[in-house]
């Protein structure tokens, strides 16, 4: 990463710490890919007619996000602008459903889920991690398959091939996420095996976690492959991915849009995503944002089993 980019990222991290819900990394630090937006969609009247009465009356859906999750969601500082694959997908989905999809950024996933449950927001386009325990109070319309890997300095100096190779290392993770739980469990296993524990560095946002690696404070950042691929591309050849193609402590991982439990919106969204898959729009958007390896053939509901 260049000195200029590193400094810009550091500024973004400081701003994030101050404003929480309005990440500044969308402004001039993380470049968006070039290319035209996906082709405009024709309104599907049958799908529109299945929307809840309130949505048809207001002509809009409100989608909540909890800050930047590039390359899917890149939140602007105004708390309402969004770019990324999810923004492109929601634009196409809104055209298909015949409504406008508005975006609101809040601070943290719990706030997003609480707002959906209370009816303040209609859904979160995500993609949000689908786990069985989250399905108790929410339904997931899965449109992404994800993997968890490492971002490491170029050349992979610690030779990380999988999570099994992390004993004695300093690993940065997102606080409160599933990757944090897995790496802490692995640290305990390291000690049982008579090896040094892992120094787990938990951060509230991705830019801080990446900066920990690029500045040498951490040996690797353990997180979802799609955003790590994006950050590595921004790092000017200073970082690379490691541990690809390995389970790394996880079963199959699915991510998707979130609605309230048994919401009538759930199946409308699923069929909408499926139509975008069938007409090629989904693939164009995923390819544009470098997430071709995360595509699903079919949208699904609550695909996670663990």
DSSP designation for 73 = B
Give the domains, in start order, of the chain with CATH numbers. Answer: 32-146+252-301 (3.40.190.10), 148-242 (3.40.190.10)
* Cβ–Cβ under 8 Å, residues 169 and 220: yes
Residue 80 has a pLDDT of: 81
Distance separating alpha carbons of residues 20 and 15, to the nearest angstrom = 8
Residue 31 is predicted with a pLDDT of 54
Closest residue by Cα to residue 294 from 235, 229, 248: 229
Are the CB atoms for 221 and 232 separated by under 8 Å?
A: no
Give pLDDT tens digits along the chain (306 positions). Answer: 444 443 333 333 332 332 333 333 323 334 556 555 567 999 999 999 999 999 999 999 999 998 878 899 988 888 788 899 999 999 999 999 999 999 999 888 889 999 999 999 999 999 998 999 999 999 999 999 999 999 999 999 999 999 999 999 999 998 888 899 999 999 999 999 999 999 999 998 788 899 999 999 999 999 999 989 999 999 999 999 999 989 999 989 999 999 999 999 999 999 999 999 999 999 999 999 999 989 999 999 999 987
């Amino acid at each position: 990463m260049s000195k200029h980019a590193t400094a810009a990222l550091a500024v973004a991290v400081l701003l994030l710490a101050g404003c929480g819900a309005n990440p500044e990394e969308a402004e001039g630090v993380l470049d968006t890919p070039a290319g035209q937006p996906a082709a405009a969609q024709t309104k599907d009247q049958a799908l529109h007619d299945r929307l809840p009465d309130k949505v048809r009356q207001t002509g809009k859906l409100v989608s909540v996000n909890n800050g930047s999750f590039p390359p899917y969601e890149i939140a602007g500082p105004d708390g309402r602008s969004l770019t990324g694959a999810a923004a492109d997908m929601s634009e196409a989905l809104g055209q298909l459903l015949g409504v406008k999809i508005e975006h609101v950024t809040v601070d943290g996933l719990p706030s997003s889920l609480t707002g959906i449950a209370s009816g303040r927001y209609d859904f979160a386009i995500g993609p949000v991690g689908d786990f069985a325990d989250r399905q108790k109070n929410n339904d997931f319309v899965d449109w992404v398959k994800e993997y968890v890997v490492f971002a490491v300095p170029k050349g992979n100096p610690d030779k990380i091939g999988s999570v099994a190779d992390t004993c004695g290392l300093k690993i940065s993770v997102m606080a409160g996420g599933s990757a944090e739980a897995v790496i802490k469990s692995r640290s305990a296993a390291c000690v049982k095996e008579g090896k040094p524990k892992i120094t787990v560095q938990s951060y509230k946002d991705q830019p801080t976690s990446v900066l920990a690696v690029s500045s040498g404070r951490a040996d690797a950042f353990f997180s979802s492959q799609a955003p790590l691929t994006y950050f590595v591309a921004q790092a000017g050849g200073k970082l690379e991915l490691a541990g690809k193609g390995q389970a790394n402590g996880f079963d199959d991982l699915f991510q998707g849009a979130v609605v309230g439990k048994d919401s009538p919106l759930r199946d409308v969204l699923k069929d909408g995503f499926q139509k975008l898959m069938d007409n090629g729009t989904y693939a164009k958007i995923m390819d544009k944002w470098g997430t071709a390896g995360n595509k699903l053939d079919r949208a699904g509901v609550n695909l996670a089993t663990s």
